[in-house]
Amino acid sequence: MRYKYGEFDGEAFPTPDQLFAMNQMMDFVLQYGEQALKAMQQAMDKDTPTSDLLEQMLKDGLLDKDGKGKLKLTPKAVTKMQGQALMEIFKQLKTGSRDGHEKTSPGAGGERIDGTKPYSFGDPVSEIDLHATLRNAMARNAKDGKPNLPIQFAERDMELHLHEGLTTCSTVVLIDLSGSMTRYGRYISAKRVALALLALVRQRFPQDTIDFIGFYSGAKVIPEIQLPLIMPKPVTVFDYQVRLKVKLDQLDQAPQHFTNLHMGLQAARRMLRKRSGENKQIFIITDGEPTAHVEGDFAFLLYPPDKRSTVATLKEAALAAKEGTRISTFALIEDYYGMDWVSFVDQLTRLTKGVAFYTASGELANCVIESYLSGRKKKKSMAS
């Protein structure tokens, strides 16, 4: 074996994670979901060149096998994927925009805002506003309009900065899994954002809660371990017009690629009732207006989009807003060409007094992270 030596260029040697085990596995799994795990299983069974690497990932606890011997992701692998997604997103945040994450954590909890408040026993002295305190002391000690030296300070002279206090927050992220999310790799961007947001909450705001719900012709809660594996539903009906009425208990037998945001919002409201965060918010990541809704024991799958689905969805969103929930809608618009889609998001935003973002998939991360951080803040006199 021959060796070739050269001058060190200052770059560290890549780790196995950087070579394949995490970077490429994350991309592979995010793109193909369960099919990726099946392909990895076949690679191991056929003793391909990647078999040794997959065996090492088993030993490292990144992969495991279920009772039938099939490969599955472990919580350790999902946690690593979350951290990687978060780091990638922070690297891509726009220069000059709000950072989206605090680099420091002042004792009072949040950022300073305009104004002051009188000092009360127990408030941190580090937050005393020296200018306002000195002005009060000079005014109190003045005689004939002139300062009386030396200046004597009293407790009533002291004033403190106001802060934007951080509070606990419960968030539900609704992810569109309808057939159109396959275009432009939108579902991959949505999964990356979900993983990064989960990592941010776990690392920086462990008192917060975050839940994920996928909506398509129906809606279901997505466990954290399944986030990397979720996929859009394949389109199975290509008729120009579809009008289907399906019993809810038979919905899994119907075409799955419709957009039932109505049912997603119902599930989100039920979820938030179980959560105790002071602030509550719903994030909607979608690329189209509703094409399904629920009436009683039936789901209606309607294409082209029908006014009944729009009205039912808006009513459900209004109920969520009435309960004090902040709604942020992230509309993916790479191939936007009509006004109906924009009109629905505008109606939803006005009705709920929420926030709307019209964004390409590549900018989704910036919008979601910053909206989450702004949504979990509440202004108060002084954070103790």
SS3 assignment, position 290 = coil
Cα 127 from Cα 112, distance rounded (Å): 10
Confidence of residue 75 (pLDDT cuts 50, 70, 90): very high
From 289, 326, 302, select the one nearest 254 (Cα to Cα).
302
Provide, rounded to the nearest whole percent, the portion of the chain with pLDDT above 70: 82
SS3 assignment, position 4 = coil
Q: What integer pLDDT is reported at residue 352 of this predicted model?
A: 96
pLDDT at 32 over 50: yes
Average pLDDT over residues 111-116: 67
- Peptide bond just before 304 cis, omega within 30 deg: yes
**The residue count for the chain:** 384
Contacts of 250 (CB under 8 A, 6+ apart): none
Q: Which segments of 19-111 are extended strands (E)?
A: 63-65, 71-73
Q: Which amino acid is at 314?
A: L
Cα 194 from Cα 212, distance rounded (Å): 8
Backbone φ and ψ for 287, nearest 5 degrees, come out as: -125, 15
pLDDT digits (tens, 9 = 90+) for 76-92: 889 888 888 888 776 66
Confidence of residue 104 (pLDDT cuts 50, 70, 90): very low
Q: pTM to 2 decimals?
A: 0.77
Residue 94: half-sphere exposure toward Cβ, Cα within 13 Å: 11
Q: What integer pLDDT is reported at residue 125 of this predicted model?
A: 72
CB of 293 within 8 A of CB of 327?
no
Contacts of 374 (CB under 8 A, 6+ apart): none
From 192, 165, 2, 173, select the one nearest 78 (Cα to Cα).
192
Cα 143 from Cα 140, distance rounded (Å): 9
Buried b (16+ CB within 10 A) or exposed e, 202-236: beebeebbbbbbbbbbbbbebebebbbbbbbbeee
CATH code matching the domain that covers 169-378, chosen among 3.40.50.410, 1.20.1600.10, 1.20.58.760, 1.10.3470.10: 3.40.50.410
Q: What integer pLDDT is reported at residue 317 of this predicted model?
A: 98
Q: What integer pLDDT is reported at residue 9 of this predicted model?
A: 58
Element (H, E) at 335: none
Poorest-pLDDT segment among 167-171, 271-275, 332-336, 371-375: 332-336
pLDDT at 99 over 70: no
Where in the sequence of the chain do the CATH 3.40.50.410 domains occur?
A: 169-378
pLDDT digits (tens, 9 = 90+) for 295-323: 999 999 999 999 999 999 999 999 999 99
DSSP 128: B
Confidence of residue 137 (pLDDT cuts 50, 70, 90): confident
